[in-house]
Copies of this chain bind each other. A is one copy, B any other.
Amino acid sequence: MTKRIDFQIDPSRYRHWRLSVEGPVATLSMDVDPAGGLFDGYELKLNSYDLGVDIELHDAVQRLRFEHPEVRAVVLASAKPNVFCAGANIRMLGKASHGHKVNFCKFTNETRMAIEDATAHSGQFYLAAINGTCAGGGYEIAMTAGHIMLIDDRRSAVALPETPLLAVLPGTGGLTRLTDKRKVRRDRADQFCLLEEGIRGQRAVAWRLVDEVVPPSAWQDAVARRAQDFAARSDRPADARGIVLMPLAREVADDTIAYRNVHVALDRAAGRATITVRGPRDLPADLAGIHAAGAAFWPLETARELDDALLHLRLNEPALGLLVLRTEGDPSAVLAADGLLDTHAADWLVREIRLLLKRALKRLDLTSRSLVALIEPGSCFAGTLAELAFSADRAVMHEEAAAIALSPLNFGAYPMSNGLTRLAARFYGEPDSLERARALIGQRLDSATADDHGLITAAFDAIDWEDEIRVMLEERASFSPDALTAMEANLRFVGPETMETRIFGRLTAWQNWVFQRPNAVGANGALQRYGSGQRAAFDPERV
């Protein structure tokens, strides 16, 4: 699987989803083209999916937020008869490399959480209308919805058959949402997860697997009515006009990717990529200007570009284990942009921009590469862009002419997966330092002040800078990529846990482990033997 995977798409090119909007209700129907797999060698039968299907879903969820302010409820449905979704395609999983499987799951997880984020924070309530078989990853998609309806046709069921069928986990949040979101009793969850055929009808309601079952005769009306009910509770504006998420301006060369505000330089010999984010050159004066600028408004454009760059690096450049984070520009201009995002936080579009920045920064936290921020003269690690430094495993600062700055957005706008701001996580052991930092909002902080306040890892003078950086980057490149991944996944998320950290931490780590075990991926393992007519042969030892 070496072809370049592109995460940019638009509805005119969807092969797997249909989006229809009627007033406040959108319907997002899965209609996977069996011949439309991202790679050769498998057919996407029964609405099973691969990464390509999920790239479209991710795009649709994003566009609904920005392009359709009028949409207040989204029905997740299937356009195929008798099947909602059969889950991740098994032949694809069987052929994929370990790294692809892990990154496929990570991206689908992020997309599932974007759906929950829209329901929780954007006033776009998702409901799942399950009108057929709904298994594995299919039920994991349904569980992202705030309300699950199941047709009661004595045939349609929900199921998580991964463990009995494939010897892997329902690893796209399934186990965690079952216990923590749906709050299914643990012995019932155990039964459900080992029942290939799943559960249907009233028992599915009694076990909290779905919220209601509806007879076929009443199905259409019931779904429409529920969608209207949820739409009525939304706080989205009545008569706003959406903005269009124009295609990103992007030039991809062999060793660079150039966007308007983000530049990526690939150094394959050194095993690293340098991501440079440029600060705003011009900004609108007011809210009307923000809406007029639309997708060209610097914070929005930058968030989309950073997001795209990270996804590209994850899937297409796995051997670049280190991301160097840089910025260029005027710190005051970034603070001015933050001022707009702060002043107009109540506006629906500004809210969406802030939420997208939040998600893009979370994607950075969750990228299993070492992150090092270089705070150099001419940089603009201010406010929102200072989050890049706070997300890094280390942030080092040039002692001369470099400055960083904080804005109110560093203190709540961009929580990490664990619900803490990056500064609160940083100062988990010293809450006083958080308050000391708050007092610095708006100031240009030189390296001594930043160091004194614990905002950076270290400062180096001009004489030492190059050597220190070189040694640090070379040394890090010499360590085991796996050990670094696991270490960083632990150190980055201190303190409280949320459903998100449990999915990305505990569940994902277990799934990654299972994805290495011969009982799943060996020649006689369940993933390889699935569909061959041969049963998997298991080593019976527990570890």
Contacts and interface: CB of A to CB of B under 8 A. Distances in A.
Contacts of A492: 186
A543 B176 contact: no
A479 B186 contact: no
Interface in A302-341: 318-321
Contacts of A482: 167, 513-514, 517, 519-520, 543
Contact of A480 (B99, B179, B520): B520
Contacts of A103: 543
B519 A481 contact: yes
B541 A318 contact: yes
Interface in A87-107: 98-99, 102-103
A495 B510 CA distance: 17
Contact of A318 (B182, B369, B542): B542
Interface stretch (A47-55, A65-73, A109-117, A190-198): A190-198
A480 to B, nearest CB: 3
Contact of A506 (B179, B208, B505, B543): B505
A167 B482 CA distance: 7
Interface stretch (A131-139, A284-292, A532-540): A532-540
Contacts of A99: 541-543
A19 interface: no
B180 A542 contact: no
A511 interface: yes
A10 interface: no
A23 interface: no
A249 to B, nearest CB: 28
A326 B219 CA distance: 47
A168 interface: yes
Given A475-B194, A541-B99, A168 B368 contact: no
Number of copies of chain A assembled together: 2
A8 interface: no
Nearest to A171: B486
Contact of A540 (B175, B189, B321, B475): B321
Interface in A30-84: none
A543 B509 contact: no
A430 interface: yes
B394 A175 contact: no
Nearest to A541: B318
A117 to B, nearest CB: 21
Interface stretch (A238-246, A420-428, A460-468): A420-428
A449 interface: no
Contact of A483 (B169, B481, B484): B169
18 contacts: A99-B542, A163-B479, A163-B484, A169-B486, A169-B487, A185-B454, A186-B393, A193-B491, A194-B479, A480-B520, A480-B526, A481-B541, A482-B520, A483-B520, A485-B542, A486-B511, A486-B513, A506-B509
Interface of A: 98-99, 102-103, 162-164, 166-169, 175-176, 178-180, 182-191, 193-194, 208, 271, 318-321, 368-369, 392-395, 425-430, 454, 457, 475-476, 479-492, 494-497, 502, 505-507, 509-514, 516-517, 519-520, 525-526, 536, 538-543
Given A169-B483, A183-B494, A187-B457, 4 more contacts: A186-B393, A480-B517, A490-B506, A516-B517
